[in-house]
Amino acid sequence: MIVSSKIENKLYKVEKPERYIGREWNQIKKEGTTQKKKILLCFPDTYEIGMSHLGIKILYHLLNKQEDILCERAFAPWIDLENLLREEGLPLFSLESGHRAGDFDIIGFTLQYEMSYTNIINMLDLANIPLYTEDRDGSHPLIIGGGSTVYNSEPAAPFFDLIFIGEAEDFIIDLVNTYFNFKNQGLNRKDILKKMSKLPGVYVPSMYEVSYHKSGGVKEFNPKFPEIKKTIKRQIVNDLDQSFYPTGFLVPFMDIVHNRAVIEVARGCTRGCRFCAAGMTYRPVRERSKERILELAEKILEKTGYSELSLNSLSTVDYSDIETLVKELTDRFSGQKISISLPSLRIDEFSVRLAEEVQKVRKSGLTFAPEAGTERLRRVINKGVGEKDLYQAVRAAFNSGWDRIKLYFMIGLPTETRKDLEGIVSMVDRVKKIGRQTSGRRTNIEVSVSSFIPKPFTPFQWVAMENRESIEKKQSYLRNNIKGRGVHLSWNEPDMSLVEGLMARGDRRLAPVIEKAWQKGARFDGWNELFDFSLWEDALHKSNLKFSTFISGYSPEKCLPWAHINMGVDREFLYNEYKKALSEELTPDCRHEGRCTGCGINLLFPEADLYAD
């Protein structure tokens, strides 16, 4: 069934019809679909956000490179289109061909953000697919999850047939082909999933059972069958140069969040910030060679026409040969008025000099992330940055012509005191003063303050999340003390952070909670204008559960909801880092100090090049 032809003449009724028409530059549309393995990549947020996601770009082009595979896309419809589809009795459809989602063999969801879980089940419902894996049969598509929140996917696990743990580029084709081989053998759905669960990195939630303590919390997590692996090892791409990377990126008709060419220059980070889940879960560090990056840049810019090239990684400035790379890129492309951007900067003068080099074509603001207001608390979180470093970097930025600086902080960090909040205020005042003294121009200081959420697979995974009243009190203090001309303070909604913490730290008992919140109308929970905390309070109450069960601290002796996932970073390392945090002890970056800190990643992935030259 082609849905798009039935809805196109009614798209004038929705706010942004460009979200749903497809036909972008470099779109891939294949003929002869009946003979192909049909895959639909679903991103559970708007087109603007999904089209900015690098993982979707990689998998879309990689899968379509295979002659026998057809891969199309679908994004979460905004409320206006959802209402229109339901009024017309029409299902979720793909952008490329307009076919209904249920016609595809495999549907893959990106689990990028905990607040998107209600969108996932809303898209399943719009596709007329049962929400729970136990209610599906051979007539339904295989529902797969993958992405950065799969490391604790338990709250949403019952909605998925299988979840891939890790980086998919080198494994997705084999996974697809294996599924079709089993299907062509006439095996039933349960037997297929049982066999698929034996594949590296594949987690089939229905093959495991969970027991709980009477007082709350996970007691045990065990396979239902002896042949099912007890833990699921994360899969990684060893060699980024050899791994697939697309060059003919889709170019949208509308403005999106990151509307530019992107090259991932490295993957992983060893700086060891104790609050950062990505810094732990994306190890080991792997880099693309400078030659490969330059080759990709030429091809991507030629095929897309973009005027900005972003060098992406968790810590781009830590790329081994970053100065030479930046110089060669600017020398090669500045004459074409193509700007180079670095999404992540260290707090030092070197980063400012590097930013000055890349922003010769056009200057944007600079962002620094002190994270905490005092050096004591920065030692706790292993953010080895002194105030002197920040002030020198800010002075260098103003001297070089920048007039807009953004500062990122967190509140609710472990051991935080009033003095740490006062430190944030003092730091902002000092930066404002440096701007006035140095630049002689009007400067803008944007201060962003987020609430800390203890995430899985970090040294703080055992600590409790701060309650709403405490966070609101701290936000009020900052609002009353960070102000003045040219200073802008932003903060996040405490209730939204509570739900994010619930989803990040929870277990399978939350799946019915997600369903109940969705039934009451929860959609796009990461959007302030649509988020409704009362829906989640009511859903928890009706499920006989409490926030405190999940956002309180976990005992180191107890089983964590995500203990069956082997990320590669050793549990003892994380716990030792937690103890070092409490004693305010720093752990050096192993790449720059030249000695192993014992995180265990080199034991799980001995074949990886951990220390790229």
Domain boundaries, the chain: 4-233
Looking from the CA of 417 toward its CB, the CA atoms found within 13 Å total 6
Q: Where are the extended beta strands (E) located within 67-168?
A: 69-75, 106-110, 142-146, 162-164
Bridge partners for 410 per DSSP: 450
If pLDDT is split at 50, 70 and 90, which confidence band does 363 have? low
62 vs 264: CA distance, rounded Å:
16
* Token pair for 92: 């979720």
* Token pair for 404: 């807009």
- Whole-angstrom CA distances from 286 to 147, 238, 506, 577, 605 are 18, 7, 31, 23, 12
387 vs 392: CA distance, rounded Å:
9
Contact criterion met (CB below 8 Å) for 411 and 473? no
* Pairing status of strand 232-233 against strand 218-223: unpaired
3-state secondary structure 520-589: CCCCCCCCCCCCCHHHHHHHHHHCCCCHHHHHCCCCCCCCCCCCCEECCCCHHHHHHHHHHHHCCCCCCC
Radius of gyration from C-alpha coordinates of the chain? 24
Our CA angle for 234, 602, 311, nearest 5°, is: 70
pLDDT at residue number 362: 58
Answer yes or no: is pLDDT of 609 > 60: no
Q: Ramachandran region of residue 550, left (φ > 0), alpha (ψ -120 to 50) or beta? A: alpha
* Token pair for 502: 């619930």
| Cis previous bond, 284, omega within 30 | yes
If pLDDT is split at 50, 70 and 90, which confidence band does 361 have? low
Picking from 392, 320, 315, 403, the residue whose alpha carbon sits closest to that of residue 359 is 403
Specify the range with the lowest mean pLDDT, choosing from 4-18, 120-134, 295-309, 465-479: 4-18
* Pairing status of strand 286-287 against strand 266-267: antiparallel
Answer yes or no: is pLDDT of 145 > 80: yes
348 vs 592: CA distance, rounded Å:
16
Specify the range with the lowest mean pLDDT, choosing from 46-50, 350-354, 533-537: 350-354
Contact criterion met (CB below 8 Å) for 241 and 289? yes
Q: Which CATH architecture has domain 4-233?
A: 3-Layer(aba) Sandwich (3.40)
What is the arithmetic mean of pLDDT over 462-469? 95
CB-CB neighbours of 68 under 10 Å: 10
Could you give the percent of the chain with pLDDT greater than 70? 96
pLDDT at residue number 541: 97
pLDDT at residue number 613: 35
Local structure of residue 55 (DSSP, 8 states): H
275 vs 282: CA distance, rounded Å:
14
Contact criterion met (CB below 8 Å) for 146 and 553? no
Picking from 281, 231, 235, the residue whose alpha carbon sits closest to that of residue 564 is 231
pTM, full prediction: 0.95
What residues contact 572, with CB distance under 8 A and at least 6 apart?
none
56 vs 494: CA distance, rounded Å:
30
Answer yes or no: is pLDDT of 612 > 60: no
pLDDT at residue number 14: 94
Is residue 408 exposed (0-12), middle (13-18) or buried (19+ Cβ within 10 Å)?
A: middle
The 3-state DSSP class for residue 15 equals coil
Specify the range with the lowest mean pLDDT, choosing from 116-125, 311-320, 417-426: 311-320
